[in-house]
Amino acid sequence: MREHGDATTGPSPVDQAAVRRGNLARVLAEIRRPGGHSRAALAATTGLTKATVSSLVAELIRRGLVRESGLRQEGVVGRPGRLLELDGASLAALGLEIGANYLAVRGVDLADRVLLDRRVGFDAVRAGAAGAVDELAELTADALAELRRARIEVVGIGVAVPGLADIATGTVHYAPNLLWQDVPVADRLRERLGTAGDVAVLVDNEANLSALAEFRRDPVTDLVYLTAGIGVGAGLIADGALLRGATGFSGEVGHLPVDPAGGACGCGRHGCLETKIGLAAVVRAGAPDLLDAPRDPEELAAALRHRAEAGQPRVLEALDDVGRWLGIGTSILVNLLNPGAVVLGGYFAAVAPYVVPAAMRELRSRAVAGEAAICRITGSAFGFGAAVRGGASVIADRVFDDPTAARLRAGPGVESA
Amino acid sequence: MREHGDATTGPSPVDQAAVRRGNLARVLAEIRRPGGHSRAALAATTGLTKATVSSLVAELIRRGLVRESGLRQEGVVGRPGRLLELDGASLAALGLEIGANYLAVRGVDLADRVLLDRRVGFDAVRAGAAGAVDELAELTADALAELRRARIEVVGIGVAVPGLADIATGTVHYAPNLLWQDVPVADRLRERLGTAGDVAVLVDNEANLSALAEFRRDPVTDLVYLTAGIGVGAGLIADGALLRGATGFSGEVGHLPVDPAGGACGCGRHGCLETKIGLAAVVRAGAPDLLDAPRDPEELAAALRHRAEAGQPRVLEALDDVGRWLGIGTSILVNLLNPGAVVLGGYFAAVAPYVVPAAMRELRSRAVAGEAAICRITGSAFGFGAAVRGGASVIADRVFDDPTAARLRAGPGVESA
């Protein structure tokens, strides 16, 4: 049975290239599974011919994605087959983040080994949009140079921003906490990096990228990532994929109206979720002495946790109250989306033990479907580092989805892709 | 280039059957597109060999899904190729619905022609779960008999219920307005139908099935279906697929806390969305004289619309207020999910002109991302008929996804599937 195209009646060249790319991805996905894989075994599991598998594997090797490891005896007779495993050590994905008070960069290779991980304090508001992107470009250029010196090819850059990003154009439409409007981040970053930046640049909301990082660590098909620093945001994974919405503006939880009789919100409304669980709200209520010049939310989170661990009643009370409102907000998400897990990022991650109990109480009392819909609420293991991880992993995933995104190096025996 | 399996090194029999089913679906999907399709054209567009396409087409014809129509001259030379088009006239999908005050059944063939469409008043609460399912079985048996007399094969039954259904088992866990808990609808229906019911039976929430019906009519990749009769519910389409959540309990919008200071809800909480926009609320506020014995929500909706058209101030005011709260609830869904369209079903469909303006006003004032996230809010063209349409279309879609779900009739030249 020959189900796929042959030269005479088969697909057009375009179709063939697409089929080829799809088969490269299928074979690479198999090789990424634990344990060594022989070409013969890959042919059996993918339903491709041995000849095709050999050609695909040769190409994956020349793109730096696969390497031959050991030998495996195929049955009693015949010569042993070479085992294949994921390589990716010479390919890197960069994750960047612009926060209101910091810039971060993380580089990982395609086997997910950390190559570099930096976070620097930075007043993005004072610097202005152009100044902030330029500063980020400096940080990126250093990272690129360092990786190039180590003979590692950067396959792309994923930039996390605390705002509404158009992933098609890499423009940030609106980032209230940066005071940004319509900032062409990808274009300016590429321009500043010049030829050094001759790689794919993706820009996305930090909660979206963080949700992808959490999903990669713990693949719960329906996952809600809820985060707060200066702002409050959510990244939603539905049935294994990021829920972006029609125009990319999903996950706007910060202004859920949870207390119409509540205090004024920066958005002009009253009693938005952000006024109850935002970092500013908890600091004001639990540690007002920390309300001063802009500082890294990570420091504030650490200070809150430190005081909570020391048993300071005021902080504990404030965090319990945050937990209660967090539970109210979470129950809305649970009743609408029925996630399998809710992961708390940003400052919540640092103080999870002090907010989760109250949040779970609220969730149990508000989940319409009862026990069957109640899921765990846990603090993120990545904390403020989730977004750069997500930025790097979307870049890596692009290569796993289309291995031709990794440059083809010189070598024998590869069909044109 | 032969990318797909051959007999010697190719896929296992299981893989081959899966590949075959996948290719049957691919070819059928092409044939469903407007215009006639020749086997040669199908080979070119699918990338399959002519031989494979001919074998797949022969099988689709014998399963009643495809028929030959006219002739098309393939280029200047060579004999003309026969054109193929969707058949499906001898295959039917049944949609059923159990409402608190009615039962409904709709039968369509796989070319989407309506074969039967019935709706009968029925007090499901008084009848009890077993009694209601038995009554539905009667209605179904009549429909099955009628279709069999017309020599139409029923490929499956999709049952819509106003509650939380486990689609894997066909059990309704909880249907507050029917006073149901853990009712094995699929099993009991099959048992009651006996051999006549020897077809697939799917049970799902009515809002989910309605959302699928609306999506089929207007394929907006991200669509929110918001409905109210006695209860309030939502069906969510995210990126072209139903968002079910981890355990199937998504779309619980009826108890969104929109007015903590508001009136008591049947759920024991206060100010739930249902207390603001449910049918009972609007009738109480706008047409209290209609508050009597249980009656079909469709009749109530028609009465409300009639009074609104007659300009009765009290009804108009009540509907405007419903519109306002509807807008508040909708803005929560829009900020979280960023849909491309919000479709109003149930009684909203009948009174859309009187609720949408206020709803749009609220949405505009509450959409965090502003214009870019604001979408249209429209009344459903199907009204209370959306759920049975959805029930029938999920059954039809199962066959289009796996054509082997349609029985193979006697005939020549078909490889084993």
Q: Is residue A19 very low, low, confident or very high in pLDDT (cuts 50, 70, 90)?
A: confident
Cβ contacts below 8 Å, chain A against chain B, sum to 238
Q: What is the DSSP string of A310-370?
A: TT-HHHHHHHHHHHHHHHHHHHHHHHHH--SEEEEEEHHHHHHHHHHHHHHHHHHHH-TTG
* Mean per-residue pLDDT, A311-340: 97
Per-residue pLDDT tens digits for B217-267? 999 999 999 999 888 999 999 999 999 999 888 999 999 999 988 999 888
Residue A111 contacts B, CB cutoff 8 Å: no
Report the alpha-carbon distance of residue B113 to residue A160 in Å, rounded: 49
* Mean per-residue pLDDT, A79-98: 90
- What would the CATH number be for the domain defined by A13-87? 1.10.10.10
Quote ipTM for the complex.
Answer: 0.87
Measure in Å the smallest separation between the Cα of A302 and chain B Cα atoms.
29
Nearest one of B254, B276, B285, B251 to B267, comparing CA atoms: B254
- What would the CATH number be for the domain defined by A91-209+388-403? 3.30.420.40
Q: Is residue A208 very low, low, confident or very high in pLDDT (cuts 50, 70, 90)?
A: very high
Enumerate the domain spans of chain A.
13-87, 91-209+388-403, 218-382
Specify the DSSP element, H or E, that contains A120.
Answer: strand A114-121
Q: What CA–CA distances, in Å, run from B192 to A342, A343, A410, B184, B199? A: 42, 45, 69, 12, 13
Q: Which two tokens stand for residue A263?
A: 């205090």
**Nearest beta carbon to residue A4 from set B47, B373, B415:** B47
> Which residue from B minimizes the CA distance to A251?
B336
Mean pLDDT, all residues of chain A: 90
- Check CB contact under 8 Å for A260 and B260: yes
Please say whether the beta carbons of A26 and A34 come within 8 A: no
**Nearest beta carbon to residue A5 from set B48, B174, B372:** B48
A 151-190 → B contacts, CB under 8 A = 164, 173-174
β-strands A241-242, A232-238 pairing = antiparallel
Per-residue pLDDT tens digits for B98-149? 998 899 999 999 999 999 999 999 999 999 999 999 999 999 999 999 999 9
* Mean per-residue pLDDT, A200-215: 96
Measure in Å the smallest separation between the Cα of B223 and chain A Cα atoms.
9
Specify the DSSP element, H or E, that contains B222.
Answer: none
Residue in the structure block whose two tokens are 């796989």: B110
Q: Is residue B11 over pLDDT 70?
A: no
Domains A13-87 and A91-209+388-403 share a fold: no
**What's residue B164's pLDDT?**
86
Report the alpha-carbon distance of residue A122 to residue B242 in Å, rounded: 42
Question: Mutate which of A3, A9, A250, A331 to test chain B, going by most B C-beta atoms within 10 A?
Answer: A3
Q: Which two tokens stand for residue A313?
A: 């009643």
Per-residue pLDDT tens digits for A21-36? 999 999 999 999 988 8
Residues in a beta bridge with B119: B104
Q: Is residue B375 over pLDDT 70?
A: yes
Pick the CATH number of A218-382 from 3.40.50.300, 3.40.50.720, 3.40.50.450, 3.30.420.40: 3.30.420.40
Per-residue pLDDT tens digits for A139-198? 999 999 999 999 999 999 999 999 889 889 999 988 888 999 999 999 999 999 987 667
Per-residue pLDDT tens digits for B283-314? 999 999 998 766 788 999 999 999 999 999 99
> Which residue from B minimizes the CA distance to A46?
B11
| Alpha-carbon dihedral sign for residues B250, B252, B258, B261 | negative
A 7-26 → B contacts, CB under 8 A = 7, 9-12, 15-16, 19-20, 23
Count the alpha carbons within 13 Å of B407 in the hemisphere toward its beta carbon. Answer: 13
Residue B241 contacts A, CB cutoff 8 Å: yes
Q: What CA–CA distances, in Å, run from A10 to A15, A46, B256? A: 9, 20, 54
Nearest one of A237, A254, A234, A132 to A188, comparing CA atoms: A132
Q: What CA–CA distances, in Å, run from B123 to B28, B103, B220? A: 42, 9, 36
